[in-house]
Amino acid sequence: MKAARMKTPRRPVPKKPSNPCVKDPVGVYCRVRPLSRPDQECCIEVIDETTVQIHPPEGYRVFRNGEYREVSLELWFEVLHPQVGLTFLYLLGLLFTYGVTGSGKTHTMTGSPGDGGLLPRCLDMIFNSIGPFQAKRFVFKLDDKNGVDVQCEVDALLERQKRDAMPIPKTPSGKRQIDPEFADMINVQDHCKVEDVDEDNVYSVFVSYIEIYNNYIYDLLEEAPFEPIKPKWNNCNTPVRNGDFIPPQSKILREDQNHNMYVTGCTEVEVKSTEEAFEVFWRGQKKRRIANTQLNRESSRSHSVFIIKLAQAPLDADGDNVLQDKEQITLSQLSLVDLAGSERTNRTKAEGNRLREAGNINQSLMTLRTCIEILRENQMYGTNKMVPYRDSKLTHLFKNYFDGEGKVRMIVCVNPKAEDYEESLQVMRFAEMTQEVEVARPADRPICGLTPGRRFRNQDFSPVGKEQAVSELLLQNFPPLPSCELLDINDDQTLPKVIEVLEQRHKLRQMLSEEIAKTVHAFKTVLQEFDSSVASKENYIQGKLSEKEKTIAGQKMELERLEKKIKTLEYKIHILEKTATIYEEDKRNLQQELESKSQQLQRQASDKRRMEARLQGMVTETSVKWEKECSAHPVRLRHRRSRSAGERWVDHKPPSNVPTETVMQPQVPHAITVAAASEKALAKCDKYMLTHQELASDGEIETKLIKGDVFKTRGGGQAVQFTEIETLKQESPTGRKRRSSPSNRDQPEDAADSEWTDVETRCSVAVEMRAGSALGPGYQHHAQPK
């Protein structure tokens, strides 16, 4: 029973956080393996090139609605062609196959005889594109830190001579031996090539091949050194040999200076053709770990990664040699990954080593799924969760592909048989999630700065090329020579014909020489006119440049002036802000003081009313008693001296005060004049006055008289509580001018500084404490308070 055909509703995609970097989604494509038998039940149906229907098989325990997955089926033209093309644009590329065991992942990658897979087609396309622009062997040399250098021609030649001296297996015909197992796989008939290859660059291709087995990395191209191993003895005293080669050592992942992951100590081979590159791949493919399981006769027990590195550098200005500049060298990388298949152990009946291998494979694939899920969540919802790349060697190697700039493509391989329904459903769900992950688009390619087209232009204009072109032109215009062979003594026609042809050639040559001379003369005239026009244009341009330079110099001076003015205004704004802050703080303090004073006055008023009530009662009682006493005993009244007449002052005049020489001076009778604070003087007096002087804003000396009351403390000492301040100031009747006078309205721009000084003076004065203007006792003149 098939489910109704319906498309899976799209999930509501939340708004993604704004990111200035342009990103492209991971390309996900599907390939459905054909059934092995025509009578086999199928659970996957291809509707069209973008839709695949999955339905539960007959007799499935729970019937569910069929699900659609929108994926592309055009593998070569939609996947590999743009992937290889972008390899030339200075970026990273990743193409990996994903699916259950037996779904055709390895077949998709390698292909079959007569029908090459993705890997041979990719190699063929690369060499079709860079074929005539390849550098000689060993011109590019990879280092051990995932970088590349350019060698001079002499060093490259020495290395080529060393390589040629090494023995190479050859056939009796003298050609290199080609393994017949892969000879048919590299016979690709597409002949595709990249159109935007820079013809002024030289290229070299390097390949390496690794596998990740049980979470260890091994080099499949590493030649195991020969070393005899001592035989082991079993219980029957029979030697058991483990072989004559040392087992391969696992490799380590490191991060280069560009934060890209690479395998240290991995063998990297420079190849110059598709056949040579695929031969290297096949040599490593024979070492890959495979085993026979219940689901696949040759099941891959490891993840294999075939890495293609493309080194390129521009030619020099002459178009002959590679530019010796390390910053102009670019190393692109394309990784073709054949993942091991996910499987359930209850279906494979795996035991022992096979069971451990299956556990490691499933664990690494589960880590890959977790990384994709967290990466998708971070991109869609703006979270910042840590992606666990380091939990597996596979995901750690993939880190720079998802976090860097480049392209990522995934080929989903599915087996449509009914037994793989649940696994295929999980694979398609993972594919649907993966295509929502985005990878940053690569930046624009760097500009070399040299003239384009220099490779072929310099070849055409070389001396050898000129002579060859002139000779070919002359041979085309000259009449052909007749046969000069004389077969008979009486032959009187051959020599006249030869003479006639030679005379024609001589006349034609003279004509060509005259035309060439005229052309040269005309060309020289044109060159002279061009030189004169160029010189006049240079003079005109030089004059314009000098004018522009003067204008620019004037503009620079104006900018400097405006910058200085801006700095002055910024400083003034800063002072005003500080002054406003001071005013605000003073306002808050005064409000608090006013509130406290009002509360204190309220308390004093209430205390005064209570005291008045008590005193009223006491006065009434006392008056009654005095009336009684007076009636009994007549009393002579005495004149009571006022309290103010008995007050004594401490006149504190510091020695630093300057005589003001004014007509009126403050005088306090019966005052004790001191130059410093004295406890003895304070003990004899009940009033205190401090004379303080400071410089006013108009340059005059301003005298302040700070007055207070002296009272005794509980400890037996004296304390002063200041009550008021009187200010004495000298002013000139003609020295101050009103700012609002008409003469100051149209003041120039330079008068801003004088106004600013006045503002600062007013701000400093406003902060001071103001006191009442009442005069203390004993003053002999009238002081005008400020």
Instruction: Name the token pair of 621.
Output: 């009682």
Quick one: DSSP state of residue 79? Answer: I
Residue type, 750: D
User: CA-CA distances (angstroms) from residue 500 to 506, 509, 517?
Assistant: 10, 14, 25
Question: Contact 408/399 with Cβ under 8 angstroms?
Answer: no
Question: Could you tell me how far CA 211 lies from the centroid of its own chain?
Answer: 32
The interaxial angle of helices 118-130 and 274-285, nearest 10 deg, is 150
Task: Supply 170's token pair.
Answer: 């050859």
Backbone angles phi, psi at 67, to 5 degrees: -120, 140
User: Annotation-wise, does 100 bind a ligand?
Assistant: yes
Whether 606 has a binding-site annotation, put simply, is no
Q: Is 106 annotated as a binding residue?
A: yes
- Cα 237 to Cα 229: distance, rounded to the nearest angstrom: 17
**670 alpha carbon, distance to own chain's centre:** 84
Dist CA 314 CA 449 (whole Å):
10
Answer yes or no: are the C-beta atoms of 183 and 119 closer than 8 Å.
no
Q: Which residues face 148 on adjacent strands?
A: 142
Residues near 378 by Cβ (< 8 Å), separated by ≥ 6? 384, 385, 387
Residues 6+ apart with CB under 8 A from 63: 1, 3, 56
Longest dimension (CA), the chain: 202
103 is in an annotated binding site: yes
DSSP 355: H
State the alpha helices, DSSP H only, in 104-257. Answer: 105-110, 118-130, 153-165
Beta partners for residue 233, in sequence order: 239
State the Cα–Cα distance between residues 699 and 97, nearest whole angstrom.
91
Sign of CA dihedral 109, 113, 115, 116: positive
Q: Is 102 annotated as a binding residue?
A: yes
> Phi first, then psi: what are they for 636, rounded to 5°?
-90, 120
Rounded Cα–Cα distance for residues 365 and 361 (Å): 6
Alpha-carbon distance of 633 to 611, in angstroms, equals: 31
List of residues 6+ apart from 191 with CB closer than 8 A: 124, 128
Length of the chain: 786
Q: Other C-beta atoms within 10 Å of 79: how many?
A: 20
Query: Tokens in use for 556?
Result: 């620079």
> CA torsion, points 349, 351, 357, 362, in degrees to nearest 10?
40
Yes or no: say if 118 and 95 are a contact pair by the CB < 8 Å rule. Answer: yes
Signed CA dihedral, 455, 461, 462, 465: sign only:
positive
Tell me 676's DSSP state: S
404 is in an annotated binding site: no
Report the binding-site residues for ATP.
Answer: 99-106
Report the binding-site residues.
Answer: 99-106
